[in-house]
Amino acid sequence: MLKHFLPDEHVKSVLDITPDELKNRGIKGIITDLDNTLVEWDRPQAPPKLVEWFENMKNNQILVTIVSNNNENRVKAFSDPLKIPFIFRAKKPMGRAFHQAVLQMGIKKEEAVVIGDQLLTDVLGGNRNGFHTILVVPVASSDGISTKFNRFVERRILNWFRKKGMIQWED
């Protein structure tokens, strides 16, 4: 069961993920979390470097869909100016939103990656549903109230993986 919490990859930031790397692996789409993955949970809009990252993905025919457990107003306010499709109240780690995202993008799940900052929602949901998962370091050290408990559990799981030699990166 714990293997479902182990991401396939770990990067410091979504900005470290390039379209060339994705294309070389046959990836055509990104399912990404919003809060603390792309921007701080309380930041309403994308900073210029992130806007540039989205444009780079689009220019390289990599589709992006934001899949968030947050409410429609939060996700829509962030996504609409960027013209990026989104799914709100996704109920991650449940699989429906992940499958809905690949259906909307018109790709197979083998052609998609799931990117997120949480083991208990993004990585677990992606892994349980057969997606390649990429864990990113949260962009902010503070979290919304509902995420604080998840972080506590995640630290314990990551420590267990580290002791077993299953991960080599630092937090």
Residue linked to tokens 């972080």: 151
Residues 6+ apart with CB under 8 A from 77: 44, 45
Nearest CA among 39, 16, 14, 17 for reference residue 139: 39
In the chain, which ranges are continuous DSSP H helix? 19-24, 48-59, 72-79, 96-105, 124-128, 145-163
107-120 as b/e, with b when 16 or more CB fall inside 10 Å?
eebebbbbbbbbbb
Average pLDDT over residues 19-32: 97
34: its two tokens: 């919003």
Rounded CA separation 146/169 (Å):
26
Which pLDDT tens digit goes with each residue over 120-155?
999 999 999 999 999 999 887 766 666 777 778 888
119: its two tokens: 């083991």
In the chain, where are the structural domains located?
2-163
User: First vs last Cα of the chain: how many Å apart?
Assistant: 22
Which pLDDT tens digit goes with each residue over 47-102?
999 999 999 999 999 999 999 999 999 999 999 999 999 999 999 999 999 999 99
Q: In the prediction, which pLDDT does 152 show?
A: 81
CATH 3.40.50.1000 given to domain 2-163: yes
Which pLDDT tens digit goes with each residue over 150-169?
778 888 888 888 888 777 76
Nearest CA among 43, 116, 140 for reference residue 51: 43
Element of type H or E holding 88: none
